[in-house]
Structure 1
Amino acid sequence: MTLAADDLAFTSPWLAQREPADIQARNRDLTARCADWLARHRKGTQQHVACLDLGSGAGANPAYLAPRLPGPQSWCLVDNDVSLLPTAEKRGRSLHDAGNRPIRLSTTVRDLRELRHDPLALDDLVAVADLVTASALFDLVSHSWVARLADACARHDASVLFTLSIDGDWAFTEAGQRLAISPEDDWIRETLAVHQYRDKGFGPALGGDAPTRLAQIFSARGYRVWKRPSPWILRPEQPESIPLALAMIQGWAMAVEEQCPDTADRVRAWHRDRHDALTAGTLGLMVGHRDLFAIAGDGE
């Protein structure tokens, strides 16, 4: 999802930088469960599986899911960034489903924040979908926004696959994935969590509570819910992962400094220390995420 510059900017370089880590982190079990459900749900019909992807950016979600799900498939990608959707369209032209059939893909320019005040528009988007997907979106949205989405999904019996929602857990790691414990990390983590609850235009953001709240909201509407961990594991012995770790701690430092301006010197000292350790290859970084797959109660 792309936000205004004063909130968070999901630029094309950033999305490209994180995609390899996202691919490694995605929970294969839930992807397979979704594929199995779609195969049984669509058995005996050649109608397209209608997939709606929210906050699509440059199209990484269908690029990963399409070849792993049965078809034929028809995707509608929704984002507010007109500079990213052409990349998604271009990628879509080369995508095939698990049966090697080309997918259909269309894009819609829509600011998901506006749907906060227009539940009928959200309902219209979901109405034709068999599967609603989103990746790295729900820490930004509010409880009420998710509730409206869940209401729409329940009305139309749409299943959902939501991936890479941050859970608020992160830690620096030494070789062998041993945790590197630091009181300064704890302070940064706690302050960052408060910042992540700030309104991003959807209402008070879910932040690291997103995975738990998603499960609660969809369960309350009769959905069967499966959750699995999908952490980024950026290892110190894998130097290709370090630029992403450096980008993460830079963003965290900026957020904490914004949250507590009078602690700028402390934040910068923490950032300098962790930056040097990551660059030297003595530390890696684990960033917790969770994936969720849910089907309407009578979906199986």
Structure 2
Amino acid sequence: MSVTDRPRFAPDWLALREPADAAARAVGLLDPLREHLGLDRPRQQPVLVVRDLGCGSGSMGRWLAPRLRGPQHWVLHDHDAELLELAAARMPRTGADGGRVTVSTRQGDIGRLTAAELSGTGLVTASALLDLLTHEEVDALAAACAGAGCPVLLALSVAGRVELTPSDPLDGAIGGAFNDHQRRLDHGRRLLGPDAVAAARQVFAARGMDVLVGSSPWRLGAGDSALTAEWLRGWVGAAREQRPDLAPRATAYLRRRMEACEAGELRVVVHHSDVLALPAAASAEAAA
């Protein structure tokens, strides 16, 4: 994927969603990851090099680094120089056991990483990125990580399912149009959208990696009205862009939903999935 083809996400939106992301992440994937990395074993630990792809403002690092033991060096990758600067400045400086955390940044195209470039990397991770990739890009990432023997943790990929309470007759049409928008052809790239997790499971397994998937839903209630309102605008806006014939009904729908949100009456579950892929041979050795 080229640098110019990647969308820019506003820091305000990333900050607004960060608490919901942190609450949603599939913590059940951390134990097999730690076991594979050997971080819970009492021994002298080398520095764990973590590459955070499409790091944005750095929410993955802020969440994950304090949950990993030992010294860590995070390499933050993004095409946006301002977000890289923000992410680096806000990274934690110590891990779970007080191990030192250091940071460096790489601005540019994350779609051309190779096994050689990942040499020495202990973990590749990304958050809210997988569904923005194409099948070819996910396969290339799988090939690079498998070739380097490097585990991968890909968090918060859209699953294509949304539950709204109370329900509305237009929920299904809006949701379907949004999912089609996520699968759109963008600058010549066919995005995976809600098909991304299934594709990742397939291509990482085909490269000989063990794949685990965990649920990571946003659960938004009355206390999350600012995030819910912003999410609603984007969700309905994308649906309307995908299906212009929905525009008049979508406008009325959004008005109804925003009124319920402001009244504290709307509950939303936005389903996501987290994917952990472990090199199979190394995983078997860790379990032995």
Which residue type is aligned with residue 102 of structure 2?
R
Partner of 2:63: 64
Tell me the secondary structure at the aligned position of residue 74 of structure 1: strand
Equivalent in the alignment of 2:248: 265
2:162–2:271 Cα contact (<8 Å) kept? yes
Residue 189 of structure 2: SS of its match in structure 1?
coil
Map 1:145-224 → 2, pairs under 5 A: 145-173=137-165, 180-201=166-187, 203-224=189-210
Superposition RMSD on alpha carbons, in Å?
A: 2.2
Question: Residues 260, 84 of structure 1: CA spacing in aligned structure 2 closer, same or farther, 3 A cutoff?
Answer: same
For 2:46, give the aligned amino acid: Q
Note if contact 2:76-2:103 (Cα within 8 Å) is conserved in structure 1.
yes
Match of 1:91 in 2: 90
- Contact 1:218–1:294 (Cα < 8 Å) also in 2: yes
Q: Could you tell me how far apart the structure 2 residues matched to 1:95 and 1:273 are?
A: 45
| 1:127 shift after superposition | 2.7
**Aligned counterparts of 1:7 and 1:269: Cα–Cα separation in 2:** 31
Per the alignment, in what secondary structure is the counterpart of residue 35 of structure 2?
helix
| Amino acid across the alignment from 2:53 | L
Give the match's secondary structure for 1:75.
strand
Q: Deviations over 1:79-138 (max 9, x none)?
A: 00111111111112x4211211221110000133xx3xxx4x444442331110000001
Q: Which amino acid is the alignment partner of residue 139 of structure 1?
A: D
CA distance in 2, matches of 1:67, 1:52: 15
- Return closer, same or farther for 1:40/1:98 CA change in 2, 3 Å cut-off: closer
Identity of aligned residues (%): 37
Q: Which amino acid aligns with 2:231?
A: M
What is the CA deviation profile of residues 129-161 of structure 1, one whole-angstrom value per residue up to 9, with x for unaligned ones? 111000000111000000000001111100011
Secondary structure in 2 aligned to 1:183?
A: coil
> Partners of 2:3 and 2:221 in 1: how far apart?
29
Matches within 5 A, 1:1-300: 8-39=7-38, 44-92=43-91, 94-112=92-110, 115=111, 119=112, 121-173=113-165, 180-201=166-187, 203-236=189-222, 239=223, 241-300=224-283
The SS at the match of 1:100 is coil
SS in 1 for 2:132: coil
Report if the CA contact (8 A) 1:57-1:79 is conserved: yes
Amino acid at match of 2:100: P
Structure 2 residue runs of 5 or longer lacking an equivalent are 284-288
Question: Using a 3 Å threshold, how does the CA distance of structure 1 residues 7 and 292 change in structure 2: closer, same or farther?
Answer: closer
Contact 2:55 2:77 in 1 (8 A): yes
Deviating runs (4+, > 6 A) in structure 1? 1-4
Partner of 1:177: none
The amino acid of 1:217's aligned partner reads: V
Are 2:75 and 2:104, in contact at CA under 8 Å, matched by a contact in 1?
yes
Q: Cα 1:150–1:166, aligned 2, differ >3 Å: closer, same or farther?
A: same
Q: CA deviation at 1:7?
A: 7.8
SS in 2 for 1:267: helix
Residues 50, 75 of structure 2: 8 Å contact kept: yes
